[in-house]
Structure 1
Amino acid sequence: MSYLKSYLITIVVFFVIDLVWLGAVAKNLYREQLGFLLKDNYNATAAAIFYLFFVAGILFFVINRAVELSSWKYALFAGTFFGFITYSTYDMTNLATIKDWPVMITVIDILWGSFLCAATSLISYLLINYFKV
Structure 2
Amino acid sequence: MTQVIRAYVGSLLGFLLLDALWLGFIAKDNYTQAMEGLMRDKVHIWPWIVFYTLYCMAMVYLVIRPQFNAEKASGVFIGGGVLGAAAYGAYNMTNYALLADWPLGISLQDWVWGAVVTSLSSYCGWRLARR
Q: How high is the TM-score relative to the length of structure 1?
A: 0.91
Q: 1:36 maps to which residue? A: 37
> 2 CA distance for matches of 1:107 and 1:27?
15
Partner AA of 1:74 in structure 2: G
User: C-alpha displacement at 1:124, in angstroms?
Assistant: 2.0
> 2 CA distance for matches of 1:119 and 1:106?
20
> 2 CA distance for matches of 1:71 and 1:105?
33
Spell out structure 1 runs of 4+ moving beyond 3 A: 68-71
Equivalenced residue count is 130
1:90-129 matches, cutoff 5 A: 90-129=91-130
> 2 CA distance for matches of 1:123 and 1:56?
14
User: C-alpha displacement at 1:6, in angstroms?
Assistant: 2.0
User: C-alpha displacement at 1:70, in angstroms?
Assistant: 4.0
Q: CA RMSD in A?
A: 1.3
Partner AA of 2:25 in structure 1: A
Q: 1:12 maps to which residue? A: 13
Q: 1:74 maps to which residue? A: 75
- Identity in percent: 25
Gaps of 5+ in 1: none
Partner AA of 2:101 in structure 1: D
> 1 CA distance for matches of 2:129 and 2:5?
11
Q: How high is the TM-score relative to the length of structure 2?
A: 0.93
> 1 CA distance for matches of 2:60 and 2:36?
33
